[in-house]
Amino acid sequence: MSSRSDEAARPLVSGRDLGFVAGGRHLVSRASLDLRAGETTILIGPNGAGKSTLLRLLTGEAKPTAGVVTLEGAALASIPPWRLACQRAVMAQQARLAFPFSVLEVARLGVDGVGRALPRARREALIGGCLLAAGVLDLAARPYQTLSGGEQQRVQFARALCQLEAGRSLATRQALFLDEPIANLDLSHQLALLDMARMIAARGAAVLIVLHDINLALTYADRLVVMDAGEIVAQGAPAATLDDALLRRVFDVDLGLGRPPPQNLPFLLPQQHRQAAATP
């Protein structure tokens, strides 16, 4: 098992001094970040901090104007798309569909490319499992466009799971990128999706999630990364990374982090904000 731990120690995805300039604006600068197998990394930051851009750089969707992203030591730009697709799946923020695909067909898109070599029965089983895991199996025959925003988001999650599952037959070390995956979900589905993401990480994948909900980020992250104005301002274990000063500086809110007894996990109560606003 020593080799296994060696592997775990080496980062799967690694970004070094990443910078991205678009239209003369530095959307990301000097960002260095490692994603490790088995770890759930959660990226938080105010609107426009560059979270999604950083995610796009790490997935290879956008090429950094400075720095380099590597996957298992190889430069991302040198890896052909199909091989990349076996090793990482991405769920982007918004996914509109041009034509009336059914939920099943959307999920199948995740398998069609990566899992071409799999026998049909295995592929069907895999799609069914992923739809079930994302809680959308009952929607399988519905046209994707008739679904609510939350349902669509879960279908996209299922599609990303399908791709990861199909890719497992070709590459065991994988990464999953989720860009605000729970923005449209109700609370129970938010928790179910994040549970699922952690399970994927527990199975050995590196998971990166962009979140806005600081409580959920603190609850689910193995490692928390805070961005502001295109730069990574803090990263590390959640409890050690986020403190009142950082919150004030980055999110521009004057709130204290509570630390309740059970696990001594930090939490955030917006009620404080309203109280503070009420007292002059």
Residues making contact with other proteins (CB under 8 A): 56, 59-61, 80-86, 88-90, 92, 95-102, 104-106, 109-110, 112-114, 121-122, 124-133, 137, 140-141, 143, 145-146, 159, 161, 163, 165, 195-196, 199, 203
- In angstroms, give the least distance from the CB of 5 to other proteins: 21
**Residue 203: other Cβ atoms inside 10 A:** 13
Residue 37 tokens, joined? 């197998």
- In angstroms, give the least distance from the CB of 139 to other proteins: 11
**Residue 6: other Cβ atoms inside 10 A:** 9
List of residues 6+ apart from 270 with CB closer than 8 A:
255
- In angstroms, give the least distance from the CB of 13 to other proteins: 14
- In angstroms, give the least distance from the CB of 260 to other proteins: 26
Closer Cβ to other proteins, 122 or 212, answer by number? 122
- In angstroms, give the least distance from the CB of 77 to other proteins: 12
Distances, alpha carbon 92 to alpha carbons 59, 274, 280, in Å: 11, 33, 42
Task: Please state, in angstroms and rounded to a whole number, the distance separating the CA atoms of residues 168 and 157.
Answer: 17
Closer Cβ to other proteins, 139 or 247, answer by number? 139
Q: What single DSSP character describes residue 258?
A: B
- In angstroms, give the least distance from the CB of 280 to other proteins: 48
First vs last Cα of the chain: how many Å apart?
Answer: 60
Residue 239 tokens, joined? 């409890």
Residue pair 19/64 in contact (Cβ under 8 Å)? The answer is: yes
Closer Cβ to other proteins, 42 or 89, answer by number? 89
Closer Cβ to other proteins, 140 or 210, answer by number? 140
Kindly write down the DSSP assignment for every residue of 171-196, as one continuous string.
Answer: -SS-EEEEESTTTT--HHHHHHHHHH
Residue 48 tokens, joined? 């426009």
Q: Cα 55 to the chain's mean position, in Å?
A: 8
Closer Cβ to other proteins, 173 or 224, answer by number? 173
Closer Cβ to other proteins, 94 or 275, answer by number? 94
